[in-house]
Amino acid sequence: MSSDKSRSALILIVIAQFLGTSLWFAANAAIPEISQILGQPELTAPITIAVQFGFISGTLLFAIFSIPDRFSPRWVFMVSAILAAFFNLFIVLIPLQLGVLLICRFFVGFFLAGIYPVGMKIAADYFEKGLGTALGFLVGALVLGTAFPHLIRGLELQLSWEILFWTTSALAIIGGLIVGIFVPDGPFRKQNLKFEWSLIPNLSKISALKSAASGYFGHMWELYTFWAFIPGLIAWFSIQDIQSSQNAYLSFAVIAVGAISCAVGGLISSRIGSEKVALTALLGSGICCILVLIIPNEPNYFWIIFLLIWGMLVTADSPQFSTLVAQATPAQYKGTALTLVNCLGFALTIVSIQVGQLLLKWLSIEQMISLLSIGPLFGLLLFKLFKKKKEALSRSLPA
């Protein structure tokens, strides 16, 4: 297949990925109105965690049954996007109740498992070379979607909460149809026709895969907790109300700038390799975790620049670790490996966020955020450890 066709496919996948993952935080932008209707003071945590648990459950099931490898990934993407859109829309079609809301958000997360990691799988089927660049743009689309609710809150648009659900559901369906109709299976796809109970244990024996996954897990320990508490951190720096429009704009900027770093990091990886980009970004974000303790509140532009740099570093490693996961895995198992690593990584985010929330009972927010450096530290150490085991194994093999 020509490079032009691969690039065209990538553009469509990136657009579809952004449209599909717009469902992820759709409810978060509507939380003030939903909280008022239900008489619940704060719904951010339960709504967010419901989606995360759904995503973890979905990725686990998809990985166990090797769904992205046994079935055409473009059809998996399309069906998942449509089903996720349906459960998102179901919230506005029936009387609003907290239990129904959380169940629907759980299933939105469940079917997002067929969008985000499967989108990476489709890209891997198109690019043997330049996969780091491709995934850089792809993950960048997810990052931009993550930042979107903060922008909506900052604009203070008087939109009905139902319109947000209708709009994001329509966008997800369009994204699914784009992939299902216009993106054929990639030239490097190898189908795994059989179900194997031993597949996941066998994947865990691949040292290069464990090395890449360890770096990714260290990154994920930091990433979503940083994103979750960035409004609070900005409020601490600026000494302003966390609900202010300025806080929302800055939160959007700090998260959204990661979309740029994902894309730029992807382009750089084509020159120096995904490993160097991933490890440099992971080390840099880990250092930022520690520097937050000494960054002054004044002048304002100083800490704002610092947070923007941190926002770039904390995301730039994600697509490159995913690239390393794909490169370490046989072609017929790439979808399963990417989905499984996503599952475990997002499971870590729930633990990290809950630990961070608990620590705020005794620590200030910048002290709690500084402890996120544990993730990058262990990620770097385990990456190097498993890489050394891989090198030792390769030296022991007969020529």
Q: How confident is the model at residue 398 (pLDDT cuts 50, 70, 90)?
A: very low
Give the residue from 174, 150, 136 showing the smallest Cα distance to 21.
Answer: 174
Q: CB neighbours of 241 closer than 8 A, spacing ≥ 6?
A: 235, 247
- Interatomic CA distance for residues 233 and 42, integer angstroms: 19
Report DSSP letters for 320-353, one per residue: HHHHHHHHTS-GGGHHHHHHHHHHHHHHHHHHHH
Domain assignment of residue 193, yes or no: no
User: Mean of the per-residue pLDDT values for the chain?
Assistant: 87
What letter represents residue 399's amino acid? A
Q: Is 393's pLDDT higher than 60?
A: no
In SS3 terms, 272-312 reads as HCHHHHHHHHHHHHHHHHHHCCCCCCCCHHHHHHHHHHHHH
pLDDT of 353 reads 87
Tell me the per-residue pLDDT of 128-146, one tens digit each, with 9 for 90 and over: 778 888 899 989 988 887 7
Residue 394 belongs to a domain = no
Q: Residues 173, 82: contact at Cβ < 8 Å?
A: yes
Task: Specify the number of domains making up the chain.
Answer: 1
Residue 170 belongs to a domain: yes
The residues, any chain, with a CB within 8 Å of residue 299's CB and separated by 6 or more, are: none
* pLDDT 10s digits, 208-228: 899 999 999 999 999 989 998
Q: Which residue has the tokens 């099931």?
A: 61
**Selected residue with higher pLDDT from 234 and 390:** 234
Cβ proximity of 318 and 216 under 8 Å = yes
Predicted confidence at residue 172, as pLDDT, reads 93
Which of 24-28, 175-179, 324-328, 393-397 has the weakest average pLDDT? Answer: 393-397
- Give burial (CB, 10 Å; 0-12/13-18/19+) of 121: buried
Q: State which residues form the domain around 173.
A: 3-188+200-389
SS3 for 71-128 is CCHHHHHHHHHHHHHHHHHHHHHCCCCHHHHHHHHHHHHHHHCCCHHHHHHHHHHHCC
DSSP 6-48: HHHHHHHHHHHHHHHHTTTTHHHHTHHHHHHHHT-S--HHHHH
Q: Could you tell me which residue, 195 or 217, shows the higher pLDDT?
A: 217
Q: Are 122 and 179 in contact (CB under 8 A)?
A: yes
On whether residue 123 sits in a domain, the answer given is yes
Q: Is residue 326 part of a domain?
A: yes
Output the domain CATH number for residue 48. Answer: 1.20.1250.20
- What the block records as the tokens of 198 is 């031993």
Query: Taking residues 220-238, what's their average pLDDT?
Result: 89
Nearest to 348 by CA among 217, 245, 239: 217
Inside any domain, residue 194: no
Enter the pTM of the model.
0.88
**pLDDT band, residue 197 (cuts 50/70/90):** low
Q: Are 361 and 229 in contact (CB under 8 A)?
A: no
Pairwise CA distance, residues 221 & 215, whole Å: 10
What is the reported pLDDT for 80?
97
- State yes or no: cis peptide before 201, omega within 30 of 0: no
Q: Which residue has the tokens 């070379």?
A: 129
Residue 225 lies in a domain: yes
Flag whether 78 is in a domain.
Answer: yes
Q: What is the mean pLDDT of residues 80-85?
A: 96
Give the tokens for residue 303. 């800490």
